[in-house]
Amino acid sequence: SSATPGFSVVNWSGKADEAALNGLLVEYKESLLRAKGVLNGRHLELVNGDFIWSDDAPTDHNGLFFALKGDLNQEFFQKLKGIEQ
């Protein structure tokens, strides 16, 4: 029988520098199952292991969603708080 690994989610609506967030995403690349949302008027999508940014997002809204393997959500959320501006 195959077991489905557990996962945890983070919803975050802070403001941060895109480069700082990219650094965090790369750090957690092996653990991130899903990443999507809007930061500073830019749209983020995790596609086949690559983080794709595009300029088609609303500028009046910030909100990102992450799904991580296991129970890394609290650790990841604390790192997000650490890069907030």
Q: Give pLDDT tens digits for 49-63.
A: 899 999 988 777 889
Grouping H, G, I as helix, E, B as strand and the rest as coil, residue 64 is: strand
Strand order in the sheet with 32-39: 7-12, 63-69, 32-39, 42-47, 50-54
pLDDT at 3 over 80: no
Task: Classify 16 as helix, strand or coil.
Answer: strand
pLDDT tens, position by position, 5-54: 689 999 999 999 999 999 999 999 999 999 999 998 999 999 988 999 99
Helix (H) or strand (E) holding 69: strand 63-69
Higher pLDDT, 64 or 3: 64
